[in-house]
């Protein structure tokens, strides 16, 4: 999937988390406050690149669902967890999610929440992975998650046509493309051949849309490719935005625009 790239100030595209001067006691009614969908916004004070984001959907104080797509480069660990169930335990201001990504692997997220309101929560996060009973990795960071209230799972269904509209695209792409999103979590990617739209030569096309996070993966001539976008849909228009990293660690904002095909 080719994207139009706009290099611009990140602050204009992504809302930073607030630092409350009067934080409430997060342990008070935390089991009620945590219910809903939350997406990573910041890690250690820096905006989270879109390919590092994940969505947590707390349906109650004891159960949640987690969606993650990880691994964009050869050699990186790959994860594709779509709406994967997790057990939730709440003790004071500590929220622990335990999930099994496969028969051997257990993932655990431990949030120590310092501030939570209707729009965001701030916490110290510890993530650990255990394989066959042995801890393989353990990371800690300070995070901010934003509440997600949008649901585009129905609105995205159908065929959309998009093309590069910005100057300076890293792909210098002028070809038009179409995507047909289906309700079963698959999509068809089309390219134009003369006057005809032809499906791409892909052996796998899957996507999930959780909140506003759209994750896709496809296998094209034996090579798996993944993409991550935060989307918005209004009537027959869909916009994609992604915060991405350059090789030197600087960030840029990628955007793509589409119109629904009648």
Cα 146 to Cα 37: distance, rounded to the nearest angstrom: 8
Q: What share of the chain in percent tops pLDDT 90?
A: 51
Q: What is the pLDDT of residues 224-253, one digit of tens each?
A: 888 899 999 999 999 999 998 888 888 888
Determine the distance from the C-alpha atom of residue 193 to the mean position of all C-alpha atoms in its chain, rounded to a whole number. 32
| For residue 77, pLDDT beyond 80 | no
Cα separation of 233 and 58, whole Å? 24
**pTM (two decimals):** 0.82
Q: Which domains does the chain have, with CATH numbers?
A: 4-8+151-260 (2.40.128), 23-148 (2.40.128.30)
In the prediction, which pLDDT does 26 show? 80
Is the C-alpha dihedral spanning 221, 181, 48, 101 positive or negative? negative
Query: Once rounded to an integer, what is the mean pLDDT over residues 114-127?
Result: 95
Tell me, what's the pLDDT at 91?
A: 95
- Report whether 146 contacts 38 (CB < 8 A): yes
Tokens of 261: 């095909």
171 against 136, higher pLDDT: 136
Instruction: Give pLDDT tens digits for 14-58.
Output: 457 875 555 557 878 999 999 999 999 999 999 999 999 999 999
Compare 100 and 143 and report the one with higher pLDDT: 143
Measure the CA–CA gap between 231 and 151, rounded to whole angstroms.
10
Q: Quick one: which of 174, 155, 175, 165 has its CA closest to 232?
A: 155
Query: How much is the pLDDT for 76?
Result: 54
CA separation for the pair 239, 78 (Å, rounded):
26
H or E segment to which residue 55 belongs: strand 54-58
For residue 126, is pLDDT > 90? yes
- What is the pLDDT of the chain when averaged over all its residues? 83
């Amino acid at each position: 999937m080719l994207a139009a790239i706009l290099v611009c100030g990140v602050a204009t595209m992504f809302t930073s988390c607030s630092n409350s001067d009067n934080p409430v006691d997060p342990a008070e009614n935390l089991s009620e406050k945590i219910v809903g969908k939350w997406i990573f916004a910041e890690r250690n004070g820096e905006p989270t690149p879109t390919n590092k984001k994940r969505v947590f959907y707390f349906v109650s104080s004891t159960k949640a669902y987690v969606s993650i797509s990880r691994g964009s480069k050869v050699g990186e660990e790959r994860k594709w967890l779509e709406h994967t169930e997790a057990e939730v335990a709440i003790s004071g201001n500590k929220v622990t999610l335990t999930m099994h990504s496969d028969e051997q692997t257990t993932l655990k997220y431990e949030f120590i929440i310092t501030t939570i309101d209707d729009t965001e929560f701030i916490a110290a996060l510890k993530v650990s992975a255990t394989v066959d009973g042995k801890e393989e990795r353990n990371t800690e960071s300070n995070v901010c998650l934003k509440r997600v209230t949008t649901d585009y799972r129905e609105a995205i269904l159908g065929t959309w046509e998009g093309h590069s509209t910005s100057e300076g695209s890293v792909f210098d792409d002028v070809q038009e493309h179409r995507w047909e999103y289906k309700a079963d979590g698959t999509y068809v990617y089309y390219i134009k051949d003369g006057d005809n739209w032809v499906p791409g030569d892909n052996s796998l096309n899957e996507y999930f849309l959780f909140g506003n996070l759209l994750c896709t993966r496809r296998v094209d001539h034996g090579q798996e490719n993944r993409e991550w976008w935060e989307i918005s849909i209004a009537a027959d228009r869909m916009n994609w935005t992604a915060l991405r990293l350059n090789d030197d660690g600087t960030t840029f904002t990628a955007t793509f625009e589409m119109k629904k095909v009648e």
